[in-house]
Amino acid sequence: MSTGPAGAGPAAAGLAIETHGLSKRFGHQTAVDAVDLAVPHGAVFGFLGPNGSGKTTTIRMLLGLAAASAGTVKMLGRQMPDEFHDVLPRVGALVEGPAFYPFLSGAANLHRLDAAGRHTVPATRKARVERALERVGLEHAAGKRVHAYSLGMKQRLGIANALLSPRDLLVLDEPTNGLDPQGTREVRNLVRSLAHEGTTVFVSSHLLAEVDQMCTHAAVMSAGKLVAQGPLAELRQAGSARLRLVTPDGGAARDVLARLGLAPAPPEGEAGKQSPDGETIVAGLGAAGQQAAPLPEEVVAHLVQAGVRVRGFAVERESLEDRFVALTGEGFDVAQ
Protein backbone atom coordinates (compact mmCIF):
# COMPACT_ATOMS: atom_id res chain seq x y z
CA MET A 1 0.00 0.00 0.00
CA SER A 2 1.12 3.55 -0.65
CA THR A 3 0.04 6.41 1.54
CA GLY A 4 -0.18 10.08 0.75
CA PRO A 5 0.53 11.62 -2.63
CA ALA A 6 3.90 9.95 -3.00
CA GLY A 7 2.57 6.46 -3.84
CA ALA A 8 3.23 5.95 -7.54
CA GLY A 9 1.87 2.41 -7.60
CA PRO A 10 2.57 0.04 -10.49
CA ALA A 11 4.74 0.84 -13.46
CA ALA A 12 3.28 3.46 -15.73
CA ALA A 13 2.96 0.97 -18.58
CA GLY A 14 0.38 -0.92 -16.52
CA LEU A 15 -1.81 2.03 -15.64
CA ALA A 16 -5.22 2.90 -17.05
CA ILE A 17 -5.27 6.19 -15.10
CA GLU A 18 -2.18 8.06 -13.93
CA THR A 19 -2.06 11.49 -12.32
CA HIS A 20 0.79 13.52 -10.89
CA GLY A 21 0.24 16.51 -8.63
CA LEU A 22 -3.37 16.87 -9.79
CA SER A 23 -4.89 19.90 -8.07
CA LYS A 24 -7.99 22.05 -8.32
CA ARG A 25 -8.48 25.40 -6.64
CA PHE A 26 -11.61 27.53 -6.51
CA GLY A 27 -10.33 30.95 -5.51
CA HIS A 28 -8.51 30.50 -2.22
CA GLN A 29 -10.08 27.08 -1.58
CA THR A 30 -8.19 23.94 -2.61
CA ALA A 31 -10.68 21.20 -3.48
CA VAL A 32 -8.11 18.67 -4.75
CA ASP A 33 -4.55 18.87 -3.49
CA ALA A 34 -1.65 17.26 -5.42
CA VAL A 35 -3.26 13.86 -6.04
CA ASP A 36 -1.11 11.07 -7.53
CA LEU A 37 -3.44 8.30 -8.69
CA ALA A 38 -2.25 4.97 -10.09
CA VAL A 39 -5.08 2.81 -11.45
CA PRO A 40 -3.86 -0.52 -12.93
CA HIS A 41 -5.33 -1.88 -16.15
CA GLY A 42 -8.03 -4.45 -15.45
CA ALA A 43 -8.66 -3.31 -11.87
CA VAL A 44 -11.96 -2.53 -10.21
CA PHE A 45 -10.66 0.58 -8.47
CA GLY A 46 -12.67 2.06 -5.61
CA PHE A 47 -12.28 5.81 -5.15
CA LEU A 48 -13.40 6.19 -1.58
CA GLY A 49 -13.95 9.13 0.72
CA PRO A 50 -16.56 10.99 2.74
CA ASN A 51 -18.90 13.31 0.89
CA GLY A 52 -17.08 16.53 0.03
CA SER A 53 -13.62 14.96 0.01
CA GLY A 54 -12.91 15.89 -3.64
CA LYS A 55 -13.87 12.67 -5.44
CA THR A 56 -16.24 14.14 -8.05
CA THR A 57 -13.98 17.12 -8.75
CA THR A 58 -11.12 14.70 -9.39
CA ILE A 59 -13.27 12.66 -11.77
CA ARG A 60 -14.32 15.76 -13.67
CA MET A 61 -10.65 16.65 -14.19
CA LEU A 62 -9.85 13.10 -15.33
CA LEU A 63 -12.54 13.32 -18.01
CA GLY A 64 -11.69 16.85 -19.14
CA LEU A 65 -14.94 18.26 -17.75
CA ALA A 66 -13.01 20.64 -15.49
CA ALA A 67 -9.61 22.21 -15.99
CA ALA A 68 -6.93 21.30 -13.48
CA SER A 69 -5.20 24.12 -11.62
CA ALA A 70 -1.99 22.08 -11.60
CA GLY A 71 -0.71 18.61 -12.37
CA THR A 72 -1.04 16.10 -15.21
CA VAL A 73 -3.48 13.34 -16.19
CA LYS A 74 -2.94 10.31 -18.38
CA MET A 75 -5.81 8.00 -19.31
CA LEU A 76 -5.21 4.79 -21.26
CA GLY A 77 -1.67 5.98 -21.85
CA ARG A 78 -2.70 9.30 -23.44
CA GLN A 79 -2.29 12.81 -22.10
CA MET A 80 -5.52 14.52 -21.04
CA PRO A 81 -7.11 16.80 -22.06
CA ASP A 82 -4.81 17.20 -25.10
CA GLU A 83 -5.72 13.81 -26.57
CA PHE A 84 -9.30 13.54 -25.38
CA HIS A 85 -10.60 12.98 -28.94
CA ASP A 86 -8.68 9.71 -29.02
CA VAL A 87 -9.32 8.74 -25.40
CA LEU A 88 -12.98 9.49 -24.69
CA PRO A 89 -14.48 7.08 -27.29
CA ARG A 90 -12.79 4.30 -25.27
CA VAL A 91 -14.19 5.59 -21.96
CA GLY A 92 -17.71 5.20 -20.60
CA ALA A 93 -18.71 7.52 -17.76
CA LEU A 94 -21.53 8.25 -15.35
CA VAL A 95 -20.84 11.46 -13.43
CA GLU A 96 -23.08 13.37 -11.00
CA GLY A 97 -26.19 11.44 -11.99
CA PRO A 98 -27.68 10.89 -15.44
CA ALA A 99 -29.69 13.51 -17.36
CA PHE A 100 -32.29 12.41 -19.92
CA TYR A 101 -35.23 13.71 -21.90
CA PRO A 102 -38.06 13.00 -19.44
CA PHE A 103 -40.83 12.50 -22.01
CA LEU A 104 -38.87 10.06 -24.16
CA SER A 105 -38.60 6.39 -23.33
CA GLY A 106 -35.44 4.87 -21.96
CA ALA A 107 -34.69 3.22 -25.29
CA ALA A 108 -35.35 6.45 -27.24
CA ASN A 109 -32.98 8.36 -24.97
CA LEU A 110 -30.23 5.82 -25.59
CA HIS A 111 -30.83 5.97 -29.35
CA ARG A 112 -30.42 9.77 -29.30
CA LEU A 113 -27.35 9.67 -27.11
CA ASP A 114 -25.74 7.01 -29.26
CA ALA A 115 -26.50 8.96 -32.44
CA ALA A 116 -24.63 11.96 -30.99
CA GLY A 117 -21.38 10.00 -30.86
CA ARG A 118 -18.92 10.60 -33.69
CA HIS A 119 -17.68 7.02 -33.71
CA THR A 120 -20.92 5.06 -33.31
CA VAL A 121 -22.23 2.69 -35.99
CA PRO A 122 -25.88 3.34 -36.94
CA ALA A 123 -26.39 -0.16 -38.35
CA THR A 124 -25.83 -1.79 -34.98
CA ARG A 125 -27.51 0.87 -32.82
CA LYS A 126 -30.78 -0.96 -32.14
CA ALA A 127 -29.02 -4.16 -31.07
CA ARG A 128 -26.54 -2.25 -28.89
CA VAL A 129 -29.31 -0.30 -27.13
CA GLU A 130 -31.22 -3.50 -26.43
CA ARG A 131 -28.08 -5.19 -25.14
CA ALA A 132 -27.20 -2.25 -22.87
CA LEU A 133 -30.72 -2.16 -21.40
CA GLU A 134 -30.61 -5.89 -20.80
CA ARG A 135 -27.27 -5.67 -19.03
CA VAL A 136 -28.63 -3.20 -16.47
CA GLY A 137 -31.96 -4.99 -16.05
CA LEU A 138 -34.15 -2.37 -17.79
CA GLU A 139 -35.34 -4.33 -20.82
CA HIS A 140 -38.84 -4.47 -19.29
CA ALA A 141 -38.92 -0.65 -19.02
CA ALA A 142 -37.36 0.15 -22.40
CA GLY A 143 -40.59 1.70 -23.72
CA LYS A 144 -41.51 3.57 -20.53
CA ARG A 145 -41.01 7.33 -20.43
CA VAL A 146 -38.09 8.35 -18.26
CA HIS A 147 -40.14 10.77 -16.14
CA ALA A 148 -41.85 7.66 -14.73
CA TYR A 149 -38.53 6.02 -13.82
CA SER A 150 -37.44 5.81 -10.21
CA LEU A 151 -34.09 7.32 -9.21
CA GLY A 152 -32.54 3.87 -9.25
CA MET A 153 -33.89 3.15 -12.74
CA LYS A 154 -32.46 6.44 -14.00
CA GLN A 155 -29.13 5.49 -12.46
CA ARG A 156 -29.16 2.17 -14.28
CA LEU A 157 -30.12 3.90 -17.52
CA GLY A 158 -27.07 6.12 -17.10
CA ILE A 159 -24.88 3.04 -16.76
CA ALA A 160 -26.55 1.57 -19.85
CA ASN A 161 -25.58 4.73 -21.77
CA ALA A 162 -21.97 4.24 -20.67
CA LEU A 163 -22.10 0.68 -22.02
CA LEU A 164 -23.50 1.39 -25.49
CA SER A 165 -20.10 0.76 -27.07
CA PRO A 166 -17.20 -1.45 -25.93
CA ARG A 167 -15.11 0.43 -23.37
CA ASP A 168 -11.55 0.02 -22.16
CA LEU A 169 -12.32 2.15 -19.09
CA LEU A 170 -15.56 2.78 -17.24
CA VAL A 171 -15.77 5.69 -14.75
CA LEU A 172 -18.75 5.53 -12.40
CA ASP A 173 -19.49 8.25 -9.85
CA GLU A 174 -21.68 6.82 -7.06
CA PRO A 175 -23.24 4.16 -9.36
CA THR A 176 -25.44 2.63 -6.66
CA ASN A 177 -26.99 5.94 -5.61
CA GLY A 178 -30.74 5.48 -5.20
CA LEU A 179 -30.70 1.75 -5.88
CA ASP A 180 -32.56 -0.75 -3.74
CA PRO A 181 -30.57 -3.76 -2.43
CA GLN A 182 -31.45 -5.87 -5.46
CA GLY A 183 -30.39 -3.12 -7.87
CA THR A 184 -27.18 -2.64 -5.90
CA ARG A 185 -26.36 -6.33 -6.25
CA GLU A 186 -27.08 -6.15 -9.98
CA VAL A 187 -24.70 -3.21 -10.45
CA ARG A 188 -22.05 -4.98 -8.37
CA ASN A 189 -22.34 -8.12 -10.51
CA LEU A 190 -22.28 -6.00 -13.67
CA VAL A 191 -19.05 -4.28 -12.61
CA ARG A 192 -17.44 -7.64 -11.86
CA SER A 193 -18.48 -9.04 -15.24
CA LEU A 194 -17.08 -5.99 -17.04
CA ALA A 195 -13.77 -6.36 -15.23
CA HIS A 196 -13.73 -10.06 -16.11
CA GLU A 197 -14.06 -9.05 -19.77
CA GLY A 198 -11.01 -6.79 -19.46
CA THR A 199 -12.57 -3.38 -18.78
CA THR A 200 -10.94 -1.24 -16.10
CA VAL A 201 -13.66 0.11 -13.78
CA PHE A 202 -13.09 3.22 -11.67
CA VAL A 203 -15.84 3.50 -9.05
CA SER A 204 -16.30 6.51 -6.81
CA SER A 205 -18.28 5.88 -3.65
CA HIS A 206 -18.79 6.91 -0.06
CA LEU A 207 -20.26 3.47 0.72
CA LEU A 208 -17.51 1.40 2.30
CA ALA A 209 -19.43 -1.87 2.01
CA GLU A 210 -19.79 -1.47 -1.76
CA VAL A 211 -16.08 -0.81 -2.27
CA ASP A 212 -15.21 -3.71 0.03
CA GLN A 213 -17.36 -6.19 -1.93
CA MET A 214 -16.75 -4.89 -5.45
CA CYS A 215 -13.18 -3.66 -5.80
CA THR A 216 -9.70 -5.10 -6.20
CA HIS A 217 -7.91 -1.81 -5.49
CA ALA A 218 -8.85 1.40 -3.70
CA ALA A 219 -7.75 4.93 -2.96
CA VAL A 220 -8.89 7.02 -0.02
CA MET A 221 -9.51 10.77 -0.24
CA SER A 222 -9.81 13.08 2.74
CA ALA A 223 -10.26 16.85 2.54
CA GLY A 224 -8.93 16.94 -1.01
CA LYS A 225 -5.84 14.84 -0.32
CA LEU A 226 -5.06 11.26 -1.29
CA VAL A 227 -4.21 9.56 1.99
CA ALA A 228 -3.83 5.94 0.84
CA GLN A 229 -4.06 3.73 -2.23
CA GLY A 230 -3.18 0.21 -3.28
CA PRO A 231 -4.61 -3.30 -3.54
CA LEU A 232 -7.59 -3.71 -1.23
CA ALA A 233 -5.95 -6.68 0.49
CA GLU A 234 -2.99 -4.49 1.46
CA LEU A 235 -5.27 -1.75 2.75
CA ARG A 236 -7.02 -4.30 4.94
CA GLN A 237 -3.70 -5.53 6.38
CA ALA A 238 -2.12 -2.12 6.94
CA GLY A 239 -3.88 -1.35 10.20
CA SER A 240 -2.79 -2.28 13.69
CA ALA A 241 -3.63 -5.55 15.42
CA ARG A 242 -4.48 -6.38 19.00
CA LEU A 243 -4.71 -9.53 21.07
CA ARG A 244 -7.70 -10.44 23.17
CA LEU A 245 -6.96 -12.72 26.11
CA VAL A 246 -9.42 -14.34 28.50
CA THR A 247 -7.86 -15.66 31.72
CA PRO A 248 -8.71 -16.03 35.41
CA ASP A 249 -5.13 -14.93 36.19
CA GLY A 250 -5.39 -11.28 35.22
CA GLY A 251 -2.55 -9.94 37.35
CA ALA A 252 -0.04 -12.58 36.24
CA ALA A 253 -1.08 -12.16 32.62
CA ARG A 254 -0.50 -8.41 32.78
CA ASP A 255 2.99 -8.99 34.20
CA VAL A 256 3.86 -11.33 31.31
CA LEU A 257 2.50 -8.90 28.71
CA ALA A 258 4.45 -6.05 30.30
CA ARG A 259 7.70 -8.07 30.10
CA LEU A 260 6.98 -8.65 26.40
CA GLY A 261 6.46 -4.92 25.83
CA LEU A 262 2.71 -5.25 25.33
CA ALA A 263 0.77 -2.69 27.33
CA PRO A 264 -2.80 -3.77 28.06
CA ALA A 265 -5.38 -1.22 27.02
CA PRO A 266 -7.39 0.54 29.73
CA PRO A 267 -10.63 -1.32 30.44
CA GLU A 268 -13.18 -0.33 27.79
CA GLY A 269 -16.07 -2.29 26.32
CA GLU A 270 -15.22 -5.97 26.84
CA ALA A 271 -11.71 -5.21 28.12
CA GLY A 272 -11.62 -5.77 31.87
CA LYS A 273 -14.95 -7.58 31.76
CA GLN A 274 -15.32 -10.53 34.12
CA SER A 275 -16.94 -13.76 32.94
CA PRO A 276 -17.08 -17.35 34.25
CA ASP A 277 -13.84 -17.93 32.31
CA GLY A 278 -12.09 -14.95 33.85
CA GLU A 279 -11.09 -11.45 32.79
CA THR A 280 -10.79 -10.14 29.23
CA ILE A 281 -7.51 -8.34 28.56
CA VAL A 282 -6.81 -6.43 25.34
CA ALA A 283 -3.32 -5.35 24.25
CA GLY A 284 -1.96 -3.83 21.04
CA LEU A 285 0.34 -5.84 18.76
CA GLY A 286 1.27 -3.02 16.39
CA ALA A 287 0.80 -2.64 12.65
CA ALA A 288 1.27 -5.37 10.07
CA GLY A 289 4.90 -5.80 9.09
CA GLN A 290 6.30 -4.39 12.33
CA GLN A 291 8.92 -6.67 13.90
CA ALA A 292 9.04 -5.21 17.42
CA ALA A 293 6.01 -7.04 18.81
CA PRO A 294 6.30 -10.78 19.57
CA LEU A 295 4.35 -13.25 17.46
CA PRO A 296 0.98 -14.33 18.90
CA GLU A 297 2.20 -17.91 19.43
CA GLU A 298 5.18 -16.58 21.36
CA VAL A 299 2.83 -14.60 23.62
CA VAL A 300 0.79 -17.74 24.36
CA ALA A 301 3.96 -19.74 25.07
CA HIS A 302 5.18 -17.12 27.58
CA LEU A 303 1.78 -17.01 29.27
CA VAL A 304 1.62 -20.79 29.66
CA GLN A 305 5.23 -20.96 30.85
CA ALA A 306 4.38 -18.42 33.56
CA GLY A 307 1.44 -20.56 34.69
CA VAL A 308 -1.24 -18.26 33.31
CA ARG A 309 -4.39 -20.18 32.45
CA VAL A 310 -5.44 -19.19 28.93
CA ARG A 311 -9.19 -19.67 28.47
CA GLY A 312 -9.41 -17.67 25.25
CA PHE A 313 -6.95 -16.02 22.88
CA ALA A 314 -7.54 -14.20 19.60
CA VAL A 315 -5.73 -11.74 17.32
CA GLU A 316 -7.98 -9.03 15.88
CA ARG A 317 -7.07 -6.68 13.04
CA GLU A 318 -8.68 -3.36 12.33
CA SER A 319 -11.64 -3.68 10.01
CA LEU A 320 -11.56 -1.86 6.70
CA GLU A 321 -13.94 0.65 8.24
CA ASP A 322 -11.63 1.20 11.22
CA ARG A 323 -8.70 1.69 8.88
CA PHE A 324 -10.41 4.25 6.69
CA VAL A 325 -11.80 6.17 9.65
CA ALA A 326 -8.27 6.30 11.05
CA LEU A 327 -7.01 7.67 7.72
CA THR A 328 -9.67 10.33 7.28
CA GLY A 329 -10.83 11.14 10.78
CA GLU A 330 -14.39 10.78 9.51
CA GLY A 331 -16.94 8.03 9.25
CA PHE A 332 -18.09 6.24 6.11
CA ASP A 333 -21.52 4.95 5.29
CA VAL A 334 -21.25 1.18 5.55
CA ALA A 335 -24.66 0.19 4.20
CA GLN A 336 -27.25 1.38 1.73
Using only C-alpha atoms, the chain has a radius of gyration, in whole angstroms, of 25
Q: What stretch(es) of the chain map to CATH 3.40.50.300? A: 12-236
Task: Enter the pTM of the model.
Answer: 0.73
329: pLDDT strictly greater than 70: no
Q: Assign domain 12-236 to a CATH class.
A: alpha beta
Architecture per CATH, 240-317: 2-Layer Sandwich (3.30)
Q: What is the Cα–Cα distance from 176 to 257, expressed in whole angstroms?
A: 47
pLDDT tens digit sequence for 276-324: 778 999 988 765 444 467 888 999 999 999 999 999 999 887 666 667 7
pLDDT tens digit sequence for 60-70: 999 988 999 99
Band (pLDDT 50/70/90 cuts) for residue 147 is: very high
- Name the maximum alpha-carbon separation found in the chain: 81
Segment 157-170 mean pLDDT: 90
Q: What is the Cα–Cα distance from 138 to 144, expressed in whole angstroms?
A: 10
Q: What is the Cα–Cα distance from 4 to 53, expressed in whole angstroms?
A: 14
Q: What stretch(es) of the chain map to CATH 3.30.70.100? A: 240-317
Q: What is the DSSP letter of 190?
A: H
Q: How large is the angle between the packed helices 151-162 and 106-115, nearest 10 degrees?
A: 30
Strand 225-231 versus strand 274-275 pairing type: unpaired
β-strand partners of 72:
20
Question: Is 251 strand, coil or helix?
Answer: helix
pLDDT tens digit sequence for 237-250: 766 778 999 999 99
β-strand partners of 23:
70
**Range with lowest mean pLDDT among 2-11, 91-100, 306-315:** 2-11
